[in-house]
Structure 1
Amino acid sequence: MTTEHTDVVELLKEQHARIRHLFDEVVNTRGEERKQNFHDLVRLLAVHETAEEEVVHPFARTNIDGGELVVKDRVEEEEQAKQALSRLDDMDPDSPEFLDRFAVLRQDVLAHAENEERYEFAHFARVADRGRLETLARAVQAAEALAPTRPHPGTDTALKNAVVGPVAAVIDRTRDAVRKAIG
């Protein structure tokens, strides 16, 4: 999916495209296939948002004009999505209530991705050279490799992720392995 010379904006936009695709897959499937697609979406969103909170947002806060306010708005959107994902994770993916709530989540997450691309990522090329953006991409990938695979509302900063993240990641990855083993 990515090469070692991908910059952070390219990487995150690729992930946004994958997220859009997984939203479509959840809507267009049923039963076990929908459940698996939803699980894949939750995992991608969890690791993606954690990496943004640990790498991307701190960079934006300190390097783009109005970065603190831009990031504050994105973090609020992310927190709402984490809460919605947590509620959906306990529901039957084939229930009408799940699909109604999922439609709202989809709209919110896709608007969030557009906001990130417009108000945050679009400014990165002006404040950093290609090498710096490639370094940020590698940092995002490293953060994702260690990130929790489930949403954890309330862990919306690098510091909170550093405190809760490692324990949550072990628990989440254990749950993922058990889920995979039992089918």
Structure 2
Amino acid sequence: MTAAGTDGATEGMDVVDLLLAQHARIEELFRTVASSDGTARRDAWQELVTLLAVHETAEEEIVHPLARGSIDAGNDVVDARLAEERQAKELLKDLVDDGIDAPDFDVRLSRLKTAVLEHATREERYEFVQLRAAQPARRLVALAAAVRAAEAVAPTRPHPGVESATANLLLGPPVAVVDAVRNAIRDATRD
């Protein structure tokens, strides 16, 4: 599984199809985390955390800046999505910090799921449809490659407050290294 959660099956897709596939994978992972236990739950949770982190970073670096200048009311649409992303990152960070064994994990996971899926629906309805209409098909395919590249170097944990393209580009790579070290330590010390 790639960090983007798509197993390389996205080659040749345009950016909208790639992001839609990731939204579907995110929804599937929420169901898996909620309905499983033990190692399966932990693995699905780690995949979900990583996918959410890299997905949002790539959108913030690639998709939202393009949307600002190419869709109707671009600034308003993007600002609303960034506010939603920050809220979801804060919920996700708290869940990561407290751990999957926290007594209220399932309740807070449900809140996070609702926030993330509502955000994804708004992106699909207000941003992605307009991007597809405003951009040539070849550019959308090229943007999918750019999203994959951004995800490859993105942080793998949530970092609320880093929702702008500039902040992601400046802070993302060093934070990604720190996240990789933390993940390696977690994996090495895991039961």
TM tier, smaller = over 0.9
| Displacement after TM superposition at 1:67 (Å) | 0.6
Aligned residue in 2 for 1:116: 123
Q: Which runs of 4+ in 1 moved over 4 A?
A: none
Residues in 2 aligned to 1:3 and 1:101: alpha-carbon distance in whole angstroms:
31
Aligned residue in 1 for 2:11: 4
Instruction: Give the aligned length.
Output: 183
| Displacement after TM superposition at 1:94 (Å) | 3.9
Equivalent in 53, 58, 64 of residue 60 of structure 2? 53
Aligned residue in 1 for 2:33: 26
Alignment check: 8 A CA contact 1:48 1:144 kept: yes
Aligned residue in 2 for 1:175: 182
Tell which deviates more after alignment, 95-104 or 58-67.
95-104
Alignment TM-score, normalising by the size of structure 2: 0.92
The one-letter code of the counterpart of 1:146 is V
- Unaligned stretches of 5+ in structure 2? 1-5
| Displacement after TM superposition at 1:152 (Å) | 0.4
Alignment check: 8 A CA contact 2:30 2:113 kept: yes
- Unaligned stretches of 5+ in structure 1? none
Q: Percent identity?
A: 51
Residues in 1 aligned to 2:31 and 2:101: alpha-carbon distance in whole angstroms:
15
Alignment check: 8 A CA contact 2:12 2:141 kept: yes
Aligned residue in 2 for 1:104: 111
Residues in 2 aligned to 1:3 and 1:22: alpha-carbon distance in whole angstroms:
18
Superposed CA offset, 1:68-114 (max 9, x none): 00000000000001100110012242444111111111011000000
| Displacement after TM superposition at 1:5 (Å) | 1.5
Alignment check: 8 A CA contact 1:31 1:93 kept: no
The one-letter code of the counterpart of 2:64 is H
Q: Secondary structure, in 3 states, of the residue corresponding to 2:98?
A: coil
Alignment TM-score, normalising by the size of structure 1: 0.95
Equivalent in 158, 163, 173 of residue 166 of structure 1? 173
Residues in 1 aligned to 2:132 and 2:39: alpha-carbon distance in whole angstroms:
42
| Displacement after TM superposition at 1:31 (Å) | 2.8
